[in-house]
Structure formats: C-alpha cells, structure tokens
Amino acid sequence: MAEAEEEHRAVGRPRSELARRAVLDSAYALLEDEGIDDFSIDAVSRRSGVARTTIYRRWPSKSVLAIDSFLECFRPQLDAARGGDPEENLRALVASLAAALAGPSGRVAASVVAHAQRDAETQRLFRERFSGPLRRESAIVLGAGVASGHFRADLDVERVIDAFVGAVYFRLLVGSSLDRSWVDALCDTLLIGCRARGGHDGGL
Amino acid sequence: MAEAEEEHRAVGRPRSELARRAVLDSAYALLEDEGIDDFSIDAVSRRSGVARTTIYRRWPSKSVLAIDSFLECFRPQLDAARGGDPEENLRALVASLAAALAGPSGRVAASVVAHAQRDAETQRLFRERFSGPLRRESAIVLGAGVASGHFRADLDVERVIDAFVGAVYFRLLVGSSLDRSWVDALCDTLLIGCRARGGHDGGL
C-alpha cells in the first residue's frame, strides 16, 4: 500500500515538483547539520543533485531557500485545531510550537534567527514568512474564543501572541527547557487574563 | 566642578579600576561597532591600551569579556523601582528594558544572543549573567505586588517574567518596534491576569 502510494506519487507528480522537494529536503538537512552560516546554494546543489541554475530560478538567494526549507519542515508540526474548546486549542498550538522548537527544528530555528541579526533579508523573511503566518494562525484561534464569548471581548489578541511566541522563542535561545509542564504553566498564566468575567475564570 | 570630580576619581581610584573601566568601555564600543563575531581580546587590547595578559587575567575568554561589558553598560539602563504602585513599577521595568533594547544596546544584545546559538559558553553566560539577574529583579517587583495584595496570591511570577522578557526580546530579534505604546499594551494585557480579584481589576 505504501509502495503503491509512493509509485503513484512519483508518476503523478511533475518532474519539477520532485526537484523542488529534493532541494528543500537537502537544504533542511544541511541546515540541521551545519546551521545557516555555512549554508550555500552550491552545497544544496551538490547534496540534492539539482543544478544550481534550477535552484536559483526558484530561490534567488540562500536566505530565501533557507527560510523556505525551514518553513516547509516546521509548519506541519504546528497544531492549528480550530473547533472545540478555545483554551485547549490555544494550549495545543503553544505546545506544538514548543515541541517543534525543542526538537531538531529548534536548532535550525535558532540558527535562522541568529543569522537574521546579521542579514536584513533573512530578518525580513523570518518576520514575513515564519512570524507572520504563525501570528495569523494564532489570531484565528484566539479570535474564535473571543467570538464564542469564552475570552474577553476587549482581549488584545496581538499582545497575547507576542507574549507566548516570545516566551517560547526566548527560552529556546537561552537554552532553557521547553517541556510540557512549562507550556501548561505559561498557558495557565496567560489564560487567566484572557477569560471573560464570570463563568469561565474559576477553572484553574 | 565636573573637572574636580574627574580629578578626584582619577586620584581616588586604583590603577586596576581605571584599567578595568578602559577594557570594559573599549569592549563595549567594539561590540557596538562590529558585533560579537569579529570581537577579540586582541582588538580590545589595541583599543584600550591595556595589555592582553592583564585582560586575560580578569577575563579568561572573549565570551566572558563580551557579556561583562554588555551588562556593565546595559544594567544601569533598567528601572528597578520597588516602592509605590506595583503596576507602575512593572511598567517602568518593562519600558526600561524595551527602551534599552530599542537603542544602541539592542544591536549588541541581539549580536550576543545570536552568538550564543553557536557558542555554548556565551549562551550559559547570557542566561546566568543577563537573564538571571533580570529575572530576579523582576521577581522582586512582581513579588512586592503579591505581598501587598495587589496581585493574585497564586500568581506564577516566573511565567509572567517569561512572557514579558520573551515578548520584548523576540520583538527585538525580528526587528519590530519596541515603542512605548506597544510596551503599555503588553503590560495592560499581562496585568489583567496578575491582579487580585475585586478592587483592582477594573482600571483598564
């Protein structure tokens, strides 16, 4: 079954999609192995077997390729459930971000943000392609809680996002633990300030 | 008057204190100019006129010297008022951290945390000498609010600190603005969850 699926994919996908996948996977493997400082389109070309010119056609700079490959491997790790209990959805989102950053992706994520301090394009791409989508996803989760009346109507959704994304990322950067008990304690603390008065605020 | 003071200092301070000051000031100026990557004890020696051996006696590695000089220039910028209103004290602390990071110290702070991703000693020193003292100072400010009954008795002080330090630092690293209106909105949001019930939670 898995084999049949694999074959179907190989047949069904155009050659360019296979090359794209090979480039992104090789790029991510290089980022995991060596970080972004020694990362280069030449090295990705050698590792993936895809010609430099083909890579440059799609990714005009090493920053763009690095960020794209990071995101391609990182995004699927985030839990973006929207139905059900808004508090559980927020906890799941924060927990998935922390779990992803506690794993191998964390080293890549730290390396990318470090590089962004010396390279304005990487910083802009990180903000636009990583931070931006993560914030929009988070705003939907929190906004659903506001819409249902579970969270306060005047909740400053963007500042709650600043708080939990910043807390998780900063902990990664200083090398502190991102375990589930820390995530739960952070969410407990932030959720107290999110809940609408009456009914929902006695749960902790 | 200023001159007399200067002379008094020069006479009153031992030679080693003058050398220490010269080394730390030169180190910080180098960090501001070039970041931590090109930073070296040799360069500090050239700039300060203090012999390499003298520098090494006090600072066994470039990481230790870089962190020490960063802290020496950064710490005095933090507002650590403890009397008066606990909410105003927290706002002042967060605002002073954001203002310091929005200025020239921010480039150095970003460079140090970036370097920490490739150098375990720098990461440890950053955690122990920057993050640790800042957290202890913040815990005193928040703890005073708990002790006075203004903040909830079960407030998870450490998680509130994670939230605001992380939020401020992450914003620096992604290149977003750290202006006072953002600081106030962040503090508004976090303070809602800090206040004891009744009496104090209707102010916003």
Tens of pLDDT, residues A61-105: 999 999 999 998 888 888 877 778 999 999 999 999 999 999 988
Residues A173, B131: C-beta atoms closer than 8 Å: no
Cα atoms in the Cβ-side hemisphere of radius 13 Å centred on A127: 17
Element (H, E) at A95: helix A86-102
Residues B113, A168: C-beta atoms closer than 8 Å: no
Outline which parts of chain A fall under CATH 1.10.357.10: 73-194
In B89-128, the residues whose Cβ lies within 8 Å of chain A are 110-111, 113-118, 120, 123-124, 126-127
Q: How many helices (H) and strands (E) does chain A have?
A: 11, 0
Q: Does B39 touch chain A (CB under 8 A)?
A: no
Query: ∠ CA B17-B34-A128 to the nearest 5 degrees?
Result: 130
Provide the pLDDT for residue A46: 97
Q: How far apart are CA A70 and CA B128, in angstroms?
A: 30
A195: closest chain B residue by CA: B193
Provide the pLDDT for residue A198: 64
With beta carbons less than 8 A apart as the criterion, state whether B89 and B141 touch. Answer: yes
Provide the pLDDT for residue A7: 44
Q: Does B40 touch chain A (CB under 8 A)?
A: no
- Supply the angle between the helices B157-174 and B132-147 in degrees, to the nearest 10: 130
Q: Tell me the longest C-alpha to C-alpha distance in chain B.
A: 62
A4 has a pLDDT exceeding 60: no
Outline which parts of chain A fall under CATH 1.10.10.60: 2-62
Q: Does A177 touch chain B (CB under 8 A)?
A: no
Residues B167, A166: C-beta atoms closer than 8 Å: yes
Instruction: Assign a CATH topology to domain A73-194.
Output: Tetracycline Repressor; domain 2 (1.10.357)
With beta carbons less than 8 A apart as the criterion, state whether A74 and A105 touch. Answer: yes
Backbone angles phi, psi at B113, to 5 degrees: -70, -30
Q: How far apart are CA B60 and CA A98, in angstroms?
A: 35
Q: Does B180 touch chain A (CB under 8 A)?
A: no
Q: Report the mean per-residue pLDDT for chain A.
A: 89
In the predicted model, residues of chain B with pLDDT beneath 50 are 1-10, 199-204
Provide the pLDDT for residue A11: 52
A36: closest chain B residue by CA: B118
Q: State pLDDT tens for residues A32-56.
A: 998 888 899 999 999 999 999 999 9
A193 vs B contacts (CB less than 8 Å): 189-194
- CA A51 to chain B, closest CA, distance in angstroms equals 30
Question: Residue A174 to residues A117, B113, B156, B166, B170: CA-CA distances in angstroms?
Answer: 16, 8, 20, 10, 12
DSSP output for B95-158: HHHHHHHHSHHHHHHHHHHHHHTT-HHHHHHIIIIIIHHHHHHHHHHHHHHHHTTSB-TT--HH
Outline which parts of chain B fall under CATH 1.10.357.10: 72-194
Instruction: Assign a CATH topology to domain B72-194.
Output: Tetracycline Repressor; domain 2 (1.10.357)
Q: How far apart are CA A94 and CA A171, in angstroms?
A: 13
Q: How far apart are CA B142 and CA B149, in angstroms?
A: 11
**Which CATH number is A2-62 given?**
1.10.10.60
More confident residue, A9 or A179: A179
Query: ∠ CA A88-A89-A94 to the nearest 5 degrees?
Result: 95
Percentage of residues in chain A having pLDDT higher than 70 = 90
Q: State pLDDT tens for residues A124-172.
A: 999 999 999 999 999 999 999 999 999 999 999 999 999 999 999 999 9
How far is C-alpha B143 from the geometric centre of its chain's CA atoms? 20
Residues B189, A113: C-beta atoms closer than 8 Å: no
* Alpha helix segments (H runs only) across A103-201: 104-116, 120-125, 132-147, 157-174, 180-194
